[in-house]
């Protein structure tokens, strides 16, 4: 087997292996050659070569998102590292484990005008769980130029002994820092950065390992709810006549169905679920904006809960956030092992435990339910909204809304749906999905910059077919994502091309002016056809409802190449259709 000669490179690779980090996404470069040699010559690792570092990092997020385990990205020194930043921020706010390994130049070559050098230490300071800045291995003293020789070594009689001692201290320090960083990524579920300095020569190899780094296991602290907290929660729960449970993004199958069924028995409880919650129950409220958008202020006040219980990731619906900030709950509990956001400015209790474990401990101890018509009332509202929803669709012209209605019905069972941000995820919130479909979206920062790359990372690691639905601006923004040799043939992309950032037409602003069209909506006449030709995708397009219906009959079938369906919708009245919808279903 071939190993990099540099001890530090061996240390990084061997500790990644010891901690079961299997998926390594490498972007080309010279300074990271020792790491590339180490990872690619060990069959334990699955290595991916992706040129664009921004795409590479979001691709890594797609893998980590599915596995729930850290993936590693490896880059050369300089500005290459900065291209990871959007994905690092997404991983930070979405609690996705990501290990960033950046090669760096030796300290004496930084800040002197040398090529491909920037200040890499703590470069992600505000959006990282831990930054480890490793130390450069010492070279054998006979090879050290006098100008670089450490001053402390010049006056020592036994320079070799001192050299070995210093190198041992460096090795111990590097092992400790690596262990801490990787343990943070695994246990705290987020991104960590390890900056790895290498001096030339970079490409030397050897046939055996020269080091055996020490593995430090994670010291897990067992968090349990004490009886006092449980009893206090029970008192609040039983006395509250209006209890709202709001679920953000959530891993599939994270909550046992029996606890969801138990919650449904309580007439004082309504459960609002987002599309990204991956929670399904016929009596829950899965289209939040559909329920609350048409409400008067008086009706919003009626929806105001006594107790708000939240779990899962960040919330998509701006409307529910606005309502719950205006009409605050008397108490807000958030259940999460790591952190709690005071999203509604009334957080009163952070229960540091997994939601499933909380329900397992808590729900069996409820002896009686509060008398309430809370669920009954809002269930009748939901029924009315669904009836009006169906009526509106029957009268609707070809538009974004009509397209999403058709797409949701067409999605194959037991598939994975990756959703683009902005209008895509918001439209999907208005429709009920097949309960076997798993839904993911980059809602940590809600950016459009890496949705395609994330979807491809998800597809690369999954046996289930992955379908990615996105808007045109998001797709073109991340078009380098297609420059990837790891895209499986069962990957499907659906691009809704309405000629610009249509969501800005829904927001307050001066529409239909030259300034708005160019700088807000950013209208364009681009299509995905030539990109598909260049990157080997089957390309289909639909200009109307009949063409869309015809293509959807065969689009999801097995193919030799990944496929892209581009649906062209009118640019100028999609906003009117959506706004009229909320008035119609009132």
Tell me the domain boundaries of the chain: 3-206, 227-377, 396-584
| Whether the Cβ atoms of residue 310 and residue 318 lie closer than 8 Å to each other | no
Lowest-confidence region among 164-178, 371-385, 408-422: 164-178
Our CA dihedral for 41, 46, 51, 56, rounded to 10 degrees, sits at -140
Our CA dihedral for 259, 260, 262, 265, rounded to 10 degrees, sits at 170
Question: Is residue 502 pLDDT above 70, yes or no?
Answer: no
Which CATH code is given to the segment(s) 227-377? Answer: 3.40.50.1220
Query: Please, what is the end-to-end C-alpha distance for the chain in angstroms?
Result: 69
Q: Give dist(CA 326, CA 331) in Å, integer.
A: 14
Range 3-206: architecture per CATH: 3-Layer(aba) Sandwich (3.40)
Q: In which band, very low, low, confident or very high, does the pLDDT at 301 lie, cut at 50, 70 and 90?
A: very high
Question: Is residue 162 pLDDT above 80, yes or no?
Answer: no
Lowest-confidence region among 60-64, 220-224, 289-293: 220-224
Question: Residue 308: is it exposed, middle or buried by C-beta count within 10 angstroms (0-12/13-18/19+)?
Answer: buried
Phi then psi for residue 95, to 5 deg, are 55, 50
Q: Give dist(CA 18, CA 45) in Å, integer.
A: 11
Question: Residue 526: is it exposed, middle or buried by C-beta count within 10 angstroms (0-12/13-18/19+)?
Answer: middle
Q: Is the pTM of this model over 0.75?
A: yes
The overall average pLDDT reported for the chain is 92
Sheet of 438-441: strand order equals 438-441, 416-419, 466-471, 492-497, 563-568, 538-542
Lowest-confidence region among 32-36, 318-322, 432-436, 518-522: 518-522
- Name the residue with higher pLDDT: 121 or 151: 121
What integer pLDDT is reported at residue 360 of this predicted model?
Answer: 95
Print the SS3 string covering 196-241: EECCCCCCCEECCCCCCCCCCCCCCCCCCCCHHHHHHHHHHHHHCC
What integer pLDDT is reported at residue 153 of this predicted model?
Answer: 47
Q: In which band, very low, low, confident or very high, does the pLDDT at 391 lie, cut at 50, 70 and 90?
A: very high
Average pLDDT of the segment spanning 372-398: 95
Can you read off the two tokens belonging to residue 323?
């309502």
What integer pLDDT is reported at residue 116 of this predicted model?
Answer: 87
Average pLDDT of the segment spanning 346-360: 96
Q: 299 Cβ partners below 8 Å, 6+ apart?
A: none
Question: Is residue 563 pLDDT above 60, yes or no?
Answer: yes
Half-sphere exposure of 382 (CA within 13 A, CB side): 20
The model's pLDDT over 431-453, given as tens digits with 9 standing for 90+, comes to 999 999 999 999 999 998 999 99
Average pLDDT of the segment spanning 331-348: 96
Residue indicated by tokens 């009315």: 384
Q: What angle, rounded to 10 degrees, do the helices at 374-394 and 574-584 form?
A: 140
Q: 508 Cβ partners below 8 Å, 6+ apart?
A: none
What integer pLDDT is reported at residue 147 of this predicted model?
Answer: 47
The model's pLDDT over 58-113, given as tens digits with 9 standing for 90+, comes to 999 999 999 999 999 999 999 999 999 999 999 999 999 999 999 999 998 998 88
Is 3.40.50.970 the CATH number for 396-584? yes
The model's pLDDT over 11-47, given as tens digits with 9 standing for 90+, comes to 999 999 999 999 999 999 999 999 999 999 999 999 9
- DSSP letter at 123? T
Can you read off the two tokens belonging to residue 478?
């991340």
Percent of the chain as helix, strand, coil, to the nearest 5: 40, 15, 40
Note whether 3-206 and 396-584 share their fold: yes
Question: Is residue 510 pLDDT above 90, yes or no?
Answer: no
Q: What angle, rounded to 10 degrees, do the helices at 227-239 and 355-362 form?
A: 80
């Amino acid at each position: 087997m071939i190993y990099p000669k540099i001890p530090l490179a061996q240390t990084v690779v061997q500790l990644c292996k010891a901690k079961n980090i299997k998926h390594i996404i490498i972007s080309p470069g010279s300074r990271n050659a020792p790491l590339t040699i180490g990872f690619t010559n060990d069959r334990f690792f699955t290595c991916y070569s992706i040129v664009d570092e921004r795409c590479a990092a979001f691709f890594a997020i797609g893998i980590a998102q599915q596995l729930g385990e850290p993936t590693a990205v490896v880059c050369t020194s300089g500005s290459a590292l900065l291209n990871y930043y959007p994905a690092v921020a997404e991983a930070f706010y979405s609690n996705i484990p990501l290990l960033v390994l950046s090669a760096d130049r030796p300290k004496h070559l930084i800040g002197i005008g040398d090529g491909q050098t920037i200040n890499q230490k703590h470069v992600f300071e505000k959006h990282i769980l831990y930054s480890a800045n490793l130390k450069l291995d010492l070279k054998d003293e006979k090879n050290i130029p006098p100008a670089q020789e450490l001053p402390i070594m010049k006056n020592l009689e036994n320079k070799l002994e001192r050299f070995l001692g210093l190198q041992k201290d460096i090795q111990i320090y590097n092992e400790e820092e690596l262990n801490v960083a990787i343990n943070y990524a695994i246990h705290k579920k987020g991104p960590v950065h390890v900056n790895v300095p290498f001096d030339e020569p970079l490409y030397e190899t050897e046939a055996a390992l020269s080091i055996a780094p020490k593995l430090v296991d994670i010291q897990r602290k067992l968090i349990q709810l004490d009886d006092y907290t449980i009893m206090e929660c029970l008192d609040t729960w039983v006395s509250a006549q209006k209890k709202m449970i709001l679920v953000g993004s959530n891993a599939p199958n994270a909550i046992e169905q029996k606890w969801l069924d138990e919650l449904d028995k309580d007439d004082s409880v309504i459960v609002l679920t987002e599309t990204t919650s991956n929670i399904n129950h016929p009596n829950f409220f899965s289209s939040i904006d559909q329920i609350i958008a048409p409400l008067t202020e008086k009706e919003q006040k009626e929806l105001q809960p006594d107790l708000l219980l939240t779990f899962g990731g960040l919330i998509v619906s701006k409307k529910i956030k606005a309502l719950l900030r205006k009409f605050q709950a008397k108490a807000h509990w958030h259940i999460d092992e790591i952190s709690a956001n005071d999203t509604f400015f009334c957080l009163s209790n952070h229960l540091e435990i997994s939601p499933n474990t909380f329900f397992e401990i808590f729900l069996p101890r409820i002896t009686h339910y509060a008398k309430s018509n809370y669920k009954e009332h809002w269930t009748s509202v939901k029924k009315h909204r669904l009836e009006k929803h169906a009526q509106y669709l029957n009268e609707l012209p070809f538009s974004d809304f009509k397209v999403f209605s058709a797409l949701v019905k067409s999605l194959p069972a037991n598939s994975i749906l990756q959703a683009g941000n902005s209008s895509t995820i918001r439209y999907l919130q208005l429709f009920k999905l097949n309960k076997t479909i798993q839904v993911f979206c980059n809602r940590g920062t809600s950016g459009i910059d890496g949705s395609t790359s994330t979807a491809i990372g998800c597809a690369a690691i999954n046996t289930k077919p992955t379908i990615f639905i996105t808007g045109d601006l998001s797709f073109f923004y991340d078009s380098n994502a297609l420059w990837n040799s790891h895209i499986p043939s069962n990957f499907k992309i659906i691009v809704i091309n309405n000629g610009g950032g249509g969501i800005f037409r829904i927001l307050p602003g001066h529409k239909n002016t030259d300034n708005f069209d160019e700088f807000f909506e950013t209208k364009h006449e681009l299509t995905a056809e030539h990109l598909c030709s260049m990157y080997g995708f089957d390309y289909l397009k639909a200009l109307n409802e009949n063409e869309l219906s015809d293509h959807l009959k065969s689009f999801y079938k097995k193919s030799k190449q990944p496929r892209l369906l581009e649906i062209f919708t009118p640019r100028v009245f999609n906003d009117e259709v959506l706004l009229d919808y909320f008035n119609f279903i009132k």
